[in-house]
C-alpha cells in the first residue's frame, strides 16, 4: 500500500519516512490536510529555554505520543498547545486557523490532566456534563449525552449520581476521559494521566484508550515518560530531549533505527559500541568485526559513531560458532523474564553487554561461566555521532 504525501512538513516537503509502517495508520485520514501544525515553537522562562523551536505536524485522527525524561519540555509543549501558556515565539495552526493567540477556553482542544482535575464538589454526571453546561445545553440533552459517554468509557449508568470521592482511581480516569470527550474537542491532549495507577490497571486502560481512539476517530496527543505506554498506544512517537524533538516516527522505526545515542538508550536496553573511522578503515571498541563482512555491509571507512545491537540481536556463541561481530567475556548474571532470558556479559574489555535469548535457547549458567557473544551486521544499526 502506498500512501502519498501523508504529512506536510512546515517547509512544504512531504515527510514519508515517518509513515513507513503504514499498517498501523488505516484509521487515519492521511490524505487530508494536517489537523495540527506547529512551526518553530519556542518558550523561554527568564534565561531557561524550555522549548527550543519545535516543529510538528499531526495528521487528522492520529495518535501521537510525546515521550521524554522529566524536564525535557514535554509538559511545556502540551501547555502551549492547549493554551495554558503563551509561547515566546512560533506559530500553532489548527487546520487552517492560527490558534496560538486564542485563549484555552476558546480553543477547540482539551486536555486530560495528570491530576485529572475533576471537580470534587460535583457528581460524576455533573463532571461529565460540565463542558455542555458551559455551552448552555439544556439539562435533558446534557444528561442523555453524559449517560452515552458513561457507556463509551465503560462505566455503569448508575455512576451518574455517584460522588467523585466514591470512585476508584481507574474510575476517575474514565470520568475525566468522558468529561473531555463531552467537550468534543478537535484534538484531545493527555498529560500522563495513567502515571499514578498500578501496573495492571495501567495496562488495561492503555488498551482501552487505544480502542477508544479508534472508535472515536479523534486525534490524540499523549504525553508520557513511559516508553512502553507510548509504544502500546501510539501511531507515532516523538522523543523529546532538552526542549527539542530528538526523533519523530513510528515506534518500530525509533526502536530499530534510532537517530542518536540518546534515543537508542531511551528506547530500552541496548548495546552500543563506539566506532572510529580514520578514512581507511573503521575500528570498533570492545568487539572484533570481521573485515570481510564489514566490507560487504557497505560500512564507510570514515564512519564516526556507534554500532547499535539490541539485546535480542545478540547471541551467546557455542564453541566453534562464528558471527560478523564477536567478543569474549564472563557471563556475570542471568535474569529470567518469563518467555525470555537475559544475560549480563562482562566483556574482556570491561564493557557490560546485554544478551536476550528466547527461553528455548537458555544456557546452563553458573557463576564464572565464560562465553563468547556475537551478532551479525545486518542486525545492527549505525548511529552517526561525533
Partner 1 sequence: MERINQRLGLLSALPVGVFLAAGFLAPLCVVAAFSVMPQKVFSLANLPDFSSYAIMLQEGYWESLLISLAMAFAATFILFLICWPLAFAMAKVFGRFTLVLTIGVVMTLFVSENIRLFGWVLTLMKGGLIEGYWRNWTGQSFDGLLYNVPVIIFGLVYVYLPFMLFPLAQGISMVPDDARQAAFDLGATRWQIFREVELPLSAPGIVVGCLITFVLTAGAIAESKLLGGRAVIVISDEIERAFTYGQNWPLGSALAMTLIAVVACFAIAGVTRIDLDSIMGRKR
Q: How far is CA 155 from CA 32, 132, 147, 193, 358, in A?
A: 34, 19, 9, 18, 40
User: Which one of the spans 110-118, 226-234, 255-263, 290-298 is the region binding partner 1 (CB under 8 A)?
Assistant: 110-118
Which of 2, 46, 106, 364 touches partner 1 (CB under 8 A)? 106
The alpha-helical segments, DSSP class H, found in the chain are 74-82, 124-134, 139-152, 169-182, 199-216, 227-233, 251-256, 261-266, 291-296
Which of the residues 148 through 207 are near partner 1 (CB under 8 A)?
179-180, 183
Which of 5, 14, 32, 134 touches partner 1 (CB under 8 A)? 134
User: Which one of the spans 9-17, 102-110, 218-226, 230-238 is the region binding partner 1 (CB under 8 A)?
Assistant: 102-110
Q: Which is nearer to partner 1, 70 or 105 (CB)?
A: 105
> H/E element holding 343?
strand 340-347
Residue 208: CB minimum distance to partner 1, A: 21
Q: How far is CA 200 from CA 65, 142, 204, 327, 335, in A?
A: 20, 33, 6, 39, 22
Three-class DSSP category at 59: coil
Q: Under a CB-based contact definition with an 8 Å cutoff, are residues 175 and 155 in contact?
A: yes
State how far the Cα of 190 lies from the Cα of 112, in Å rounded to an integer. Answer: 5
Residue 219: CB minimum distance to partner 1, A: 16
Q: Which is nearer to partner 1, 143 or 261 (CB)?
A: 143
Q: How far is CA 332 from CA 348, 370, 371, in A?
A: 12, 9, 10
Which of 73, 83, 125, 329 touches partner 1 (CB under 8 A)? 83
User: Which one of the spans 111-119, 256-264, 337-345, 350-358 is the region binding partner 1 (CB under 8 A)?
Assistant: 111-119
Q: How far is CA 252 from CA 239, 265, 301, in A?
A: 13, 15, 28
Q: Which is nearer to partner 1, 125 or 250 (CB)?
A: 125
Which of 29, 49, 113, 363 touches partner 1 (CB under 8 A)? 113
Residue 117: CB minimum distance to partner 1, A: 4
Which of 120, 279, 298, 338 touches partner 1 (CB under 8 A)? 120
Does position 131 interact with partner 1 (CB under 8 A)? The reply is yes
> H/E element holding 247?
strand 244-249
Which strands sit side by side in the sheet containing 271-277, from one edge to the other? Answer: 282-284, 271-277, 304-309, 381-384
Q: Which is nearer to partner 1, 123 or 354 (CB)?
A: 123
User: Which one of the spans 81-89, 252-260, 306-314, 315-323 is the region binding partner 1 (CB under 8 A)?
Assistant: 81-89
Task: List the grid coordinates of 60.
Answer: 487528522
Which of the residues 294 through 333 are near partner 1 (CB under 8 A)?
none
Note the residue count of the chain.
386
Q: Which is nearer to partner 1, 57 or 76 (CB)?
A: 76
Size of site (CB under 8 A) for partner 1: 24
Burial 220-245 (b: 16+ CB within 10 A, else e): bbbbbbebebbbbbbbbbbbbbebbb
State how far the Cα of 267 lies from the Cα of 279, in Å rounded to an integer. Answer: 31
Does position 111 interact with partner 1 (CB under 8 A)? The reply is yes
Q: Under a CB-based contact definition with an 8 Å cutoff, are residues 371 and 348 in contact?
A: no
Which of 3, 9, 16, 84 touches partner 1 (CB under 8 A)? 84
Q: Which is nearer to partner 1, 173 or 380 (CB)?
A: 173
Q: Which is nearer to partner 1, 129 or 246 (CB)?
A: 129
Binding site residues, partner 1, CB under 8 A = 82-84, 103-106, 110-111, 113, 115, 117-121, 130-131, 133-135, 179-180, 183
Amino acid at each position: 500500500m502506498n500512501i502519498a504525501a501523508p504529512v506536510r512538513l512546515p517547509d512544504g516537503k512531504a515527510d514519508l519516512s515517518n509513515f513507513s509502517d503504514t499498517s498501523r495508520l488505516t484509521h487515519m485520514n492521511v490524505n487530508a490536510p494536517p489537523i495540527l501544525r506547529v512551526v518553530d515553537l519556542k518558550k523561554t522562562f527568564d534565561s531557561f529555554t524550555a522549548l527550543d523551536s519545535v516543529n510538528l505536524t499531526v495528521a487528522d485522527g492520529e495518535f501521537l505520543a510525546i515521550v521524554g525524561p522529566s524536564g525535557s519540555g514535554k509538559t511545556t509543549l502540551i501547555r502551549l498547545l492547549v493554551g495554558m501558556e503563551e509561547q515566546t515565539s512560533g506559530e500553532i495552526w489548527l487546520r487552517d486557523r492560527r490558534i496560538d493567540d486564542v485563549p484555552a477556553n476558546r480553543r477547540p482542544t482539551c486536555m486530560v490532566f495528570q491530576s485529572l482535575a475533576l471537580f470534587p464538589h460535583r457528581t460524576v454526571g455533573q463532571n461529565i456534563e460540565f463542558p455542555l453546561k458551559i455551552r448552555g445545553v439544556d439539562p435533558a440533552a446534557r444528561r442523555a449525552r453524559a449517560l452515552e459517554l458513561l457507556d463509551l468509557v465503560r462505566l455503569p449508568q448508575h455512576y451518574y449520581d455517584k460522588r467523585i470521592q466514591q470512585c476508584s482511581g481507574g474510575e476517575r480516569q474514565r470520568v475525566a476521559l468522558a468529561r473531555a470527550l463531552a467537550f468534543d474537542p478537535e484534538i484531545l491532549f493527555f498529560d500522563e494521566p495513567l502515571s499514578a495507577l498500578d501496573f495492571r490497571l495501567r495496562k488495561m486502560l492503555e488498551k482501552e484508550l487505544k480502542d477508544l481512539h479508534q472508535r472515536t476517530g479523534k486525534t490524540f496527543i499523549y504525553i508520557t515518560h513511559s516508553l512502553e505506554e507510548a509504544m502500546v498506544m501510539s501511531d507515532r512517537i516523538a522523543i523529546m530531549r532538552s526542549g527539542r524533538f530528538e526523533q519523530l516516527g513510528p515506534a518500530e522505526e525509533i526502536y530499530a533505527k534510532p537517530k542518536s545515542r540518546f534515543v537508542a538508550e531511551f528506547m530500552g536496553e541496548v548495546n552500543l559500541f563506539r566506532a572510529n573511522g580514520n578514512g581507511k578503515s573503521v575500528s570498533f571498541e570492545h568487539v572484533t568485526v570481521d573485515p570481510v563482512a564489514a566490507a560487504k555491509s557497505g560500512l564507510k571507512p570514515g564512519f564516526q559513531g556507534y554500532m547499535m545491537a539490541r539485546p535480542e540481536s545478540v547471541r551467546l556463541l557455542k564453541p566453534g560458532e562464528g558471527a560478523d561481530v564477536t567478543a569474549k567475556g564472563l557471563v556475570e548474571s542471568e535474569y529470567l523474564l518469563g518467555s525470555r532470558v537475559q544475560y549480563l556479559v562482562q566483556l574482556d574489555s570491561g564493557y557490560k553487554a546485554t544478551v536476550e535469548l528466547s527461553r528455548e535457547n537458555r544456557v546452563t549458567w553458573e557463576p564464572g561461566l565464560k562465553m563468547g557473544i556475537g551478532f551479525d551486521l545486518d542486525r545492527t544499526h549505525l548511529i552517526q555521532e561525533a
